[in-house]
């Protein structure tokens, strides 16, 4: 290749990058007060911005008063509409950052009682920020020293320590943080919240009833998040309950003293607990468990004062989270979407006459608790269901006879489906830009028409249509958190007239899943009216409501079987169990006691925690500035920290700096270190790295790059030389879990001694310069069951084309030569009958037409690839360049093919291995065997190798927040005509 | 007897005291777990936030965003094509078109109603005609349709016979490829302009005028056809495809659409430059930008 050709190639690559459209052009606006930088999409979200700012200021005022917290930086708050249901999250390093979805709340099983979403969400999230961000000595000193709060950075793992030093309260378990925020949210909302949540009461009542052991703080973090169908929600459940008990037994002020970081407090949450309460956290936890058992026994006794309703289970096992169910009378089965540990979420056919449930079709993107929204057309045997339930929902149709599923509408954002058998219309609720809209679809259901958009804060849910097709029953939530059961006339509703008959006002209780009886004269649904989720029957003729069950745990999602028989879903510790009950009106059903109600009686000061109306906040008097968001202008130096790296086995020390804007649209990372050893040439003592990233773009420059990880183990990434690069990357397909990503880049080196990616391969003596344009496309569609530690099903593929364009320097001049290379991988996996286990076929192949003697034209494979201390993928043996059993880069060739069978055995989750500050979470084993052929087109140079190996990975949690993985592996490699080789691998992945 | 009466009175007083204490303590009437009662669980709740506590900003943009029209714009590939087309992005000034809508509104529901135009069968047939699609690409034909004299003439019998003759080839000199003159004064005035004459000779235009009810469309929508932005849109192939699509026809025939286009708030929103910018951008960019932003963050909660 000539110099001109190389330049042309580089030019074309760059032109391709620039020609690609930059889709990240959406306009953001900002509303700033002295305390918040509220960023939103203009003009769509204009309507909610001021209210959000008022809610924020309202919440911050409360927390500042309670915690004596003077905000020392603006909190960045971004509104988005990325999900169909409300949710939010916070980050505290390097800035305080709060992200909140605009969508309506989810009312399923009344797991999260709430009032107006912004008011409620910000009460919760600001509690997180304040309790995490509060600082005393020594963190104030370290924040000053490092110029801010240091986030972990995989390139510089010392930042883990700096993070602990600058943000010590982040190192607390999730149950502690969520329990705290929920406690505040409840009392700031005047009692509406999970601290008085009926679902929470049910969970602990069921545990006591069934003599299920309680997790201790260690088991809660290590096992419950993996083995239980509610996974991470257990942190909310236990945390809320323990926090409420603690405040009840002591006082709200004592509780605040524990979670606050006031002068004289201890930095570590557990130490502060002992400091405040004079006893250990573990001891208190045991006391709470004893108390909880006795409290729930009293509630169970109260329920049992009257005869309880017996049920006949339709399934031998609990099905975890379940959707609404639909009855196929002809086939005598129930259809419901289910989601439980060990299986991918699926639509199940549950026989009414007994027998195991049968999986009909996988549900893509299931949601915890409601899994998917379902509607049933018995005439065409079509089950309508939703996918991507935690994002923008797709509408799908499943033929229950063939199991064939079709996507009808992508990103329709419609759920709460109901089918009108009379005119074949499908109804649903769309969530878009914060608004609930009733929509109607007609065959072939490829689009919808709006019927009515409810005002902000009024959300319709749990729809059902009468068998005669004339009426629609639904529940309506209001801003106050009040819920009513309503009946609409479909004829007038179709004309946009939303006049409804309010059947029953449930107050703060959710009227859940009310459905018509077979004759259309009654509605059956559930409510925690008595504190326990019982089944209620509403007689439309008599205009009367009756309770028809007295349950010890909770009955949900009733379905009329005819006569007095109802299918219900009974709550158990392992999830919901389909069962049949006889539903007859009861006159005697006792209520239970909510512990939260007792606590507020004992400590009436909690009544004063209720925040005033957000409308009392006068933004103008606070001082508001509005305008467009300018990312580049907002870039600031965030942290400056000392770092250490290794270069050619020599240590180096220096500084690393991070610059960014609040939305991280522009990020600049700089590091410079110096190796003082005289054994290094002068021109190799400085190590500089600069990386600039913005959405879809990345540019970097490095000089003699060094790495912290080169201190440890066989894998070395430091290189002599100067490196410049530019890359453009974007997602070509984003339909989780289906993704396709593209990366197009240009990478250049001078002064290299060894190949950039192959540490054991020296460049030729006459090497002068390397320019590598490349294109990489990666696709993935892998799924796993709830609580899994690895992918269990699907496929993953990649294609890489690159061209190593090299300038060689000879005595007689310079020559440019190009060495194109192409490499592809394909992995296919299926789950095994053993829970959370899978088997994968992993293949890789590469081809280069270049000179076999030229290093730049070869592929190099070998070794596990893990370093003793590492930050990359734990299962590195799966990657195309690995071949455990032989030395790194030992097998070379201008072409190669590799196939691997990878058996991933079920992980073992530990309930108790270590202490809350350092514990093992799970251990998993993988066994693999692979075959490799190189230089397939040259018999004399061809190598055929095989290997067999095993790898064990132990997940370790440090200070509750930091996940590390200790891996150990062994592999033996075989090659015809050569001695067998083996390799041991030990690695600790720290970030 | 007196003693008995004292006992009776004392008993009454005692009962009264007991009842009074019971009421005061909340034990009467019984609320929890009594025979024949469904006990409502007691949860503490104070006065909750109400609608008046939630002060929202201007809802007009929200109203439009929630409409079927916006849904179609955001999701229908035909709408997307039009929005992304260079003709729409660079050539169409929504404001000018909206002025025509506003003018027609002031004049009451009449011939210039945009919603009636785009929903009319004649208009859809005309734009679906292959001849019209070809003809309208010619700027001279565009100018012709916008021309006031032509619009007047097109309503006459002379125009009809001119087109009919031209279609039959009677007034066409095949050897020269030109169309013979019509007789009316309007025609003469019109063809004083060479471009207009050339446009009237356009074979595709003649075929379109002969095979569709173009004259009726022109008569009923003179202002629209005089609008250069609308004409740019009309000449856009993507717009022609959109107008021919069933989804579009259903949408523009819907009451909501008719109501929306006639709504003053909608006029304001649609004229809002920021909104136009937002609308013309790929809607997915909003999501993409958010995702890019979130990607680099490690969530604390």
Encode pLDDT of A229-264 as tens digits: 888 899 999 999 999 999 999 999 999 999 999 999
Mean per-residue pLDDT of chain A: 93
Query: Mutating which of A21, A22, A25, A26 best tests the B interface, going by the most B Cβ atoms within 10 A?
Result: A26
In a domain, B272, yes or no: no
Residues of B whose CB is below 8 A from A449:
68, 254
- Mean of pLDDT values over A91-112: 95
Task: For residues B232-244, give the mean pLDDT.
Answer: 76
pLDDT of residue B103: 60
Pairwise CB contact (< 8 Å): A447 & B63? no
Inter-chain contact B50–A479, Cβ cutoff 8 Å?
Answer: yes
Instruction: Tell me the shortest Cα–Cα distance from B53 to chain A, in angstroms.
Output: 5
Report A:12-31 residues touching B (Cβ under 8 A).
21, 23-28
**Are B228 and B100 in a shared domain?**
yes
- pLDDT, tens only, A769-815: 999 999 999 999 999 988 888 999 999 999 999 999 999 998 888 99
Q: Out of A342-346, A722-726, A915-919, B182-186, which region has the weakest mean confidence (pLDDT)? A: B182-186
Nearest CA in chain B to A118: B54
- Taking CB atoms and an 8 Å limit, are A450 and B71 in contact across chains? yes
- pLDDT computed for residue B35 by the predictor: 36
Per the domain annotation, does B271 fall within a domain?
no
174-213 in chain A: CB under 8 A from chain B:
174, 177-178, 181, 189-192, 196, 198
Residues B232 and B164 in one domain: yes
Strand order in the sheet with A75-80: A88-91, A97-101, A75-80, A36-41, A28-32, A625-628
pLDDT band at A964 (very low <50, low <70, confident <90, very high): very high
Give the residue-averaged pLDDT of A347-368.
Answer: 94
Reply yes or no on whether the pLDDT at A840 is more than 90.
Answer: yes
Q: Residue A974 above 50 pLDDT?
A: yes
pLDDT of B266 strictly over 70: no
CB-based contact, A731 to chain B, within 8 Å: yes
Q: Regarding beta strands A36-41 and A75-80, do their DSSP bridges make them parallel or antiparallel, or are they unpaired?
A: parallel
Structural domain that includes position B39 = 2-84+282-300
Q: Is residue B268 part of a domain?
A: no
- Can you give the pLDDT at residue A734? 86
- The predicted pLDDT at position A19 comes to 39
Q: Could A450 and B256 be called an inter-chain contact, meaning their C-beta atoms sit closer than 8 Å?
A: yes
pLDDT (0 to 100) of residue A962:
85
| Residue corresponding to tokens 């959406």 | A26
Q: Does residue B72 lie within any of the structural domains?
A: yes
Question: Residue A167: CB partners within 8 Å, gap ≥ 6?
Answer: A92, A93, A132, A133, A139, A149, A150
Q: Looking at the predicted structure, is the pLDDT value of residue B177 above 60?
A: no
- What 3-state DSSP class applies to B44? coil
Rounded to whole angstroms, how far apart are CA atoms A704 and A148?
28
Q: Does A115 touch chain B (CB under 8 A)?
A: yes
B100 in the same domain as B80: no
State the nearest Cα–Cα gap between A150 and chain B, in angstroms.
Answer: 12
The encoded tokens of residue A144 equal 């000053």
The sign one gets for the Cα dihedral B93, B98, B100, B103 is negative
Mean pLDDT of chain B: 71
Q: Select the residue of A47, A152, A734 nearest B62 (Cβ to Cβ).
A: A47
Structure confidence at residue A392 (pLDDT): 93
Residue B83, pLDDT score = 67
Question: Between chains, do B300 and A89 touch, taking CB under 8 Å as contact?
Answer: yes
C-beta atoms surrounding A807 within 10 Å: 18
Q: What is the pLDDT, as a whole number, of residue B111?
A: 42
What's the pLDDT score for residue A928?
98
Q: For residue B89, is it within any domain? A: no
> Do B241 and B175 have their domain in common?
yes
pLDDT band at residue A12 under the 50/70/90 scheme: very low
Q: Is 50 exceeded by the pLDDT of residue A332?
A: yes
pLDDT digit string, tens, across residues B192-221: 888 888 888 888 888 888 888 888 888 887
* pLDDT at residue B188 in the model: 79
pLDDT, residue A263, reads: 94
Cβ neighbourhood burial of A156 (10 Å; 0-12, 13-18, 19+): buried
Verify that B51 and B184 share a domain, yes or no.
no
Strand partners, A981: A973
Nearest CA in chain B to A132: B300
Cα distance between residue A125 and residue A181, in whole Å: 7
**Nearest CA to CA, how far is B54 from chain A (Å)?**
6
Task: Measure the CA–CA gap between A515 and A522, rounded to whole angstroms.
Answer: 8
- Residue A128: which of B33, B272, B301 has the nearest Cβ? B301
Same domain, B128 and B239: yes
B37/A587 touch (CB, cutoff 8 Å), yes or no: yes
Reply yes or no on whether the pLDDT at A167 is more than 50: yes
Q: Give pLDDT tens digits for A521-558.
A: 999 999 999 999 999 999 999 999 999 999 999 999 99
**How many angstroms separate the CA atoms of A400 and A408, rounded?**
16
Best of A38, A451, A530, A591 to disrupt the B interface (most B CBs within 10 Å) is A591
> Cβ separation of B53 and A531 shorter than 8 Å?
no
Asked whether residue B136 falls in the same domain as residue B184, the answer is yes
Q: Is A150 helix (H, G, I), strand (E, B) or coil?
A: coil
User: Per-residue confidence at A21, pLDDT binned at 50, 70, 90?
Assistant: very low
CB contact, 8 Å: A219 with chain B?
Answer: no
> Under an 8 A CB cutoff, do B66 and A99 touch?
no
What pLDDT score was predicted for residue A315? 94
With respect to residue B273, please indicate whether it lies within any of the assigned structural domains: no
Instruction: Dump pLDDT digits (tens) for A710-762.
Output: 999 899 999 999 999 999 999 999 888 999 999 999 999 999 999 999 999 99
Q: Tell me, what's the pLDDT at A869?
A: 95
Distance CA A921, CA A960 (A): 10
Q: Determine whether the interchain pair B42/A597 forms a contact, defined as Cβ–Cβ distance below 8 Å.
A: yes
B28 plus B160 within the same structural domain: no
Give B53's pLDDT tier (boundaries 50, 70, 90).
very high
Q: Could you give the percent of chain A with pLDDT greater than 70?
A: 97
Inside any domain, residue B270: no
Q: Are B12 and B35 found together in one domain?
A: yes
pLDDT digits (tens, 9 = 90+) for B103-127: 655 555 444 466 667 677 888 888 8
> What pLDDT, in 10s, does the model give residues A514-523?
999 999 999 9
Which pTM was predicted? Answer: 0.85
Q: How far is B256 from chain A (nearest CA, A)?
A: 9
Percent of chain A past pLDDT 90, that is, above it, reads 90
pLDDT for A15 equals 42
pLDDT value of position B293? 44
Beta bridge partners of residue A887, listed in sequence order: none
**A247 touches B: beta carbon within 8 Å:** no
- The tokens describing A802, both together, are 């690159």
- Is A590's CB within 8 Å of B46's CB? no
- Half-sphere exposure of residue A900: CA atoms within 13 angstroms, side-chain side: 29
Closest partner residue to B290 among A80, A116, A457, by Cβ? A80
- Give domain status of residue B276, yes or no: no
CB contact under 8 A, A24 and B289: yes
CB contact under 8 A, B54 and A51: yes
Residues on chain A touching B294 (C-beta within 8 angstroms): 99
What confidence score (pLDDT) does residue A629 get? 93
B68 to chain A, minimum CA–CA distance in Å? Answer: 6
Residue A630 three-state SS: coil
> What is the pLDDT averaged over residues A313-340?
95
pLDDT at position B295 is: 43
Q: DSSP letters of A867-907?
A: -SEE-S-S-GGGSTT-BTTS-TT-EEESEEEEEEEEEEPPP
A437 with B61: Cβ contact below 8 A: no
Task: Tell whether the model's pLDDT for residue B134 goes beyond 90.
Answer: no
Could you tell me if A240 lies within 8 Å of chain B, comparing CB atoms?
Answer: no
A23 with B68: Cβ contact below 8 A: no
Listed in sequence order, the residues at least 6 apart from A557 whose beta carbon sits closer than 8 Å to its beta carbon are: A322, A324, A325, A512, A513, A526, A568, A569, A576
B108 and B244 share one domain? yes
Give yes or no for residue B151 having a pLDDT over 80: yes
Q: Considering its fold, how many domains does chain B have in total?
A: 2
Domain shared by B136 and B249, yes or no = yes
Output the pLDDT for position A355. 87
Residue with more model confidence, A43 or B101: A43
pLDDT at residue B63 in the model: 83
E-strand stretches of A695-787: 697-703, 722-735, 738-750, 767-783
A566-609 tens-digit pLDDT: 999 999 999 999 999 999 999 999 999 999 999 999 999 999 99
Which pLDDT tens digit goes with each residue over A841-877?
A: 999 999 999 999 999 999 999 999 999 999 999 999 9
Arithmetic mean of pLDDT, A824-839 = 94
Lowest mean pLDDT among A36-40, A933-937, B274-278: B274-278
Residues of chain A contacting residue B285, judged by C-beta atoms under 8 Å apart: 23-26
Residue A305 to residue B47, Cβ atoms within 8 A: no
B121, B239: one domain: yes
């Amino acid at each position: 290749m000539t110099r001109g050709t190389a330049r042309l190639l580089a030019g074309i690559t760059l032109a391709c990058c620039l020609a690609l459209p930059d889709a990240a052009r959406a306009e953001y606006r900002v509303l700033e007060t002295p305390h918040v930088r509220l960023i939103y999409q203009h003009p769509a979200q204009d309507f909610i911005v001021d209210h959000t700012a008022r809610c924020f200021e309202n919440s911050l005022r409360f927390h500042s008063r309670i915690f004596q917290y003077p905000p020392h930086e603006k909190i960045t708050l971004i509104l988005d509409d990325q999900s169909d249901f409300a949710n939010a999250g916070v980050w505290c390093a390097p800035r305080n950052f709060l992200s909140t979805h605009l969508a309506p709340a989810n009312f399923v099983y009344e797991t999260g009682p709430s009032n107006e979403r912004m008011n409620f969400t910000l009460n919760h999230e600001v509690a997180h920020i304040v309790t995490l961000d509060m600082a005393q000595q020594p963190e104030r000193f370290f924040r000053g020293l490092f110029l801010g709060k240091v986030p972990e950075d995989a390139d510089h793992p010392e930042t883990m320590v700096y993070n602990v030093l600058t943000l010590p309260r982040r190192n607390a378990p999730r149950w502690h943080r969520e329990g705290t925020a929920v406690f505040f949210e409840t009392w700031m909302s005047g009692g509406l919240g999970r601290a008085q949540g009926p679902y929470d009461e049910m969970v602990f009542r069921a545990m006591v009833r069934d003599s299920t052991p309680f997790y201790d703080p260690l088991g809660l973090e290590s096992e419950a998040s993996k083995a239980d169908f509610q996974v991470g929600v257990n942190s909310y459940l236990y945390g809320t309950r323990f926090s409420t008990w603690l405040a009840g037994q002591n006082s709200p002020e004592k509780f605040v003293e524990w979670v606050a970081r006031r002068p004289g407090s201890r930095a570590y949450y557990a130490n502060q607990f002992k400091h405040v309460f004079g006893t250990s956290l573990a001891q208190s936890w045991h006391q709470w468990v004893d108390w909880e058992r006795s409290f729930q026994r009293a509630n169970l006794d109260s329920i049992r004062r009257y005869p309880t309703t017996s049920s006949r289970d339709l399934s031998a096992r609990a099905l975890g989270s379940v959707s609404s169910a639909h009855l196929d009378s002809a086939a005598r089965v129930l259809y419901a979407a289910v989601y439980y540990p060990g299986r991918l979420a699926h639509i199940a056919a549950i026989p009414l006459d007994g027998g195991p449930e049968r999986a009909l079709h996988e549900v893509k993107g299931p949601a915890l608790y409601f899994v998917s929204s379902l509607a049933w057309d018995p005439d065409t045997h079509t089950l309508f269901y939703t996918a991507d339930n935690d994002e923008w929902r797709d509408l799908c149709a499943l033929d229950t006879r063939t199991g064939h599923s079709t996507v009808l509408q992508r990103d329709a954002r419609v759920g709460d489906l109901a089918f009108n058998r009379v005119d074949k219309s499908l109804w649903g609720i769309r969530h878009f830009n914060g608004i609930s809209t009733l929509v109607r679809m007609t065959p072939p259901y490829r689009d919808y028409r709006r019927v009515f958009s409810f005002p902000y804060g009024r959300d319709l849910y749990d729809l059902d249509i009468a068998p005669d097709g004339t009426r629609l029953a639904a529940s309506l939530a209001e801003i106050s958190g009040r819920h009513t059961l309503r009946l609409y006339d479909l004829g007038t509703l179709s004309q946009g007239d939303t006049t409804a008959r309010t059947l029953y006002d449930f107050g703060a209780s959710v009227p859940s899943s009310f459905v018509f009886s077979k004759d259309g004269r009654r509605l059956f649904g559930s409510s925690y009216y008595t504190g326990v989720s019982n089944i209620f029957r509403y007689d439309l003729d008599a205009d009367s409501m009756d309770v028809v069950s007295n349950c010890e745990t909770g009955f949900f999602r009733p379905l009329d079987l005819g006569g007095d028989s109802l299918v219900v879903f009974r709550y158990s510790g392992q999830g919901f169990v389909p069962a049949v009950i006889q539903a007859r009106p009861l006159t005697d059903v006792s209520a239970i006691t909510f512990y939260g109600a007792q606590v507020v009686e004992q400590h009436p000061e909690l009544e004063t925690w209720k925040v005033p109306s957000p409308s009392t906040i006068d933004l103008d008097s606070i001082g508001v500035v509005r305008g467009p968001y300018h990312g580049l202008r907002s870039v600031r130096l965030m942290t400056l920290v000392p770092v250490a790296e290794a270069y050619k086995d020599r240590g180096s020390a220096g500084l690393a700096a991070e610059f960014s804007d609040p939305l991280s649209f522009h990020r600049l990372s700089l590091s410079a270190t110096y190796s003082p050893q005289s054994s290094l040439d002068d021109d190799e003592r400085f190590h500089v790295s600069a990386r600039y990233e913005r959405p879809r773009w990345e540019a970097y420059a490095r000089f003699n790059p060094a790495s912290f990880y080169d201190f440890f183990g066989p894998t070395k990434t430091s290189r002599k030389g100067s490196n410049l690069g530019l890359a453009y990357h974007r997602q070509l397909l984003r339909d989780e879990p289906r993704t396709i990503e593209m990366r197009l880049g240009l990478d250049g080196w001078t002064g290299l001694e060894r190949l950039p990616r192959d540490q054991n391969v020296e460049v030729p003596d006459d090497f002068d310069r390397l320019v590598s344009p490349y294109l990489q496309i990666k696709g993935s569609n892998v799924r796993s069951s709830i609580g899994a530690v690895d992918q269990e099903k699907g496929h993953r593929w990649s294609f890489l084309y690159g061209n190593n364009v090299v300038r060689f320097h000879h005595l007689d001049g310079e020559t440019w030569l190009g060495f194109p290379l192409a490499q592809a991988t394909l992995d296919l996996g299926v789950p095994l009958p053993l829970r959370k286990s899978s088997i994968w076929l992993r293949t890789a192949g590469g081809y280069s037409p270049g000179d076999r003697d030229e290093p730049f034209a070869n592929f190099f494979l070998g070794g596990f690839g893990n370093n003793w201390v590492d930050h990359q993928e734990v299962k590195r043996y799966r990657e195309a360049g690995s071949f455990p059993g032989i030395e790194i880069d030992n097998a070379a060739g201008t072409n190669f093919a590799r196939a691997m069978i990878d058996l991933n055995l079920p992980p073992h989750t530990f309930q108790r291995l270590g202490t809350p500050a350092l514990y093992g979470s799970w251990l998993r084993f993988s066994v693999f065997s692979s075959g490799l052929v190189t230089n397939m087109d040259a018999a004399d140079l061809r190598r055929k190798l095989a290997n067999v190996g095993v790898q064990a990975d132990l997940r370790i949690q440090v200070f509750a927040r930091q996940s590390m993985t200790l891996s150990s592996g062994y592999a033996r490699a075989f090659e015809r005509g050569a001695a067998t080789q083996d390799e041991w691998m030990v690695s600790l992945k720290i970030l | 007897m007196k003693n008995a009466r004292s006992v009776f009175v004392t008993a009454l007083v005692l009962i009264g005291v007991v009842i009074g204490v019971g009421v005061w303590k909340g034990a009467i009437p019984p609320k929890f777990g009594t025979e024949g009662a469904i006990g409502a669980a007691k949860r503490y709740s104070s006065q909750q936030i109400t609608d008046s506590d939630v002060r929202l900003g201007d809802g007009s943009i929200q109203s439009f965003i929630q409409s079927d029209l916006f849904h179609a714009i955001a999701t229908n590939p035909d709408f997307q094509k039009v929005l992304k087309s260079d003709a729409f992005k660079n050539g169409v000034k929504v404001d000018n078109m909206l002025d025509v809508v506003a003018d027609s509104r002031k004049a009451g529901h009449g011939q210039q109603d945009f919603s009636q135009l785009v929903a009319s069968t004649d208009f859809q047939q005309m734009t679906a005609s292959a001849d019209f699609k070809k003809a309208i690409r010619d700027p001279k034909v565009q100018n012709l349709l916008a021309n006031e004299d032509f619009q007047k003439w097109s309503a006459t019998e002379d125009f009809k016979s001119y087109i009919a003759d031209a279609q039959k080839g009677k007034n066409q000199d095949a050897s020269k490829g030109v169309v013979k003159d019509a007789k009316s004064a309007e025609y003469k005035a019109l063809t004083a302009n060479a471009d207009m004459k050339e446009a009237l000779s356009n074979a595709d235009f003649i075929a379109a005028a002969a095979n569709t009810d173009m004259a009726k469309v022109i008569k009923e929508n003179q202002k629209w056809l005089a609008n250069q932005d609308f004409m740019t849109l009309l000449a856009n192939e993507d717009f022609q495809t959109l107008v021919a699509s069933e989804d579009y026809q259903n949408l523009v025939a819907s009451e909501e659409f008719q109501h929306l286009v006639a709504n003053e708030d909608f006029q304001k929103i649609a004229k809002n430059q920021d909104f136009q910018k937002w609308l013309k951008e790929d809607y997915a960019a909003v999501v993409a930008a958010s995702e890019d932003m979130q990607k680099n963050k490690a969530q604390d909660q």
